[in-house]
Amino acid sequence: MPSNVEIKATVHDMQHLMQRAKELSESDGTVIRQQDTFFTVEKGRLKLRNFMDGKGQLIFYERPDMDGPKLSNYSISPTADPEGLTKVLTDALGMVGQVTKERKLFMVGQTRVHVDTVEGLGHFMELEVVMKEGQSMEEGVSIAHKLMEELGVRKEDLIEGAYMDLLLAKQKTQNGHK
C-alpha cells in the first residue's frame, strides 16, 4: 500500500503562505475543486473525491488522528461516475458527511503542498510527503518539518484529524448551543 507523511495546519496569513509556496515550487500552483464524501466504515476512512468535472477517486486510508507528522497508508481507484458511486456507497454504507474545498496544489520535491479553502471552516495548509520505496518514516518527517519551517508554519497551528472531523465538531458545537 502506498504511504505518505502528512502535516495539516491552520493558516493565519494566506498571502504569505501562497507567496512562499510559489517560490519553493517555482510555479503558480494548480487549482483543484473537490467535494469529498465520507462513508461509514469499521476501520480507517473511505471517501469518494469528486473533482466536479465528471471524474473522481475512491480513496481508502488509515492514519492516526494526532497533530504533527503522521504516516498515512492509502489505496485509490479512479471513477468516471462519482455521483453514481456516491449514491451506491451512501445506500450501502451510510454517509458521514461532505467536505467541499478549493485546493491550490504546489509540488516541492516529493511533497505535495496543498493550500486549502474549506467551505464552512476556513484556510488550511496540508503537506503530503509522498514516500519513495525504501524511504523511512523519519526521512519523511524530516522533509515535512523542514518544509513547514520554510513555509512559516508554526507548531501551534498544527491540527489533527480530517476536515470532516473539524466540520462534525463544529456542527456538534453549534447544535449544542441552540
Q: How confident is the model at residue 176 (pLDDT cuts 50, 70, 90)?
A: confident
Which structural domains are found in the chain, ordered by start?
3-176 (2.40.320.10)
pLDDT digits (tens, 9 = 90+) for 113-148: 999 999 999 999 999 999 999 999 899 999 999 999
pTM for the complete prediction? Answer: 0.88
**pLDDT 10s digits, 44-92:** 999 999 999 999 999 999 987 777 778 888 999 999 999 999 999 999 9
Element (H, E) at 7: strand 3-10
Tell the residue number behind the cell numbers 512559516, with chain if given: 152
Instruction: Note whether 43 and 24 are within 8 A (CB).
Output: no
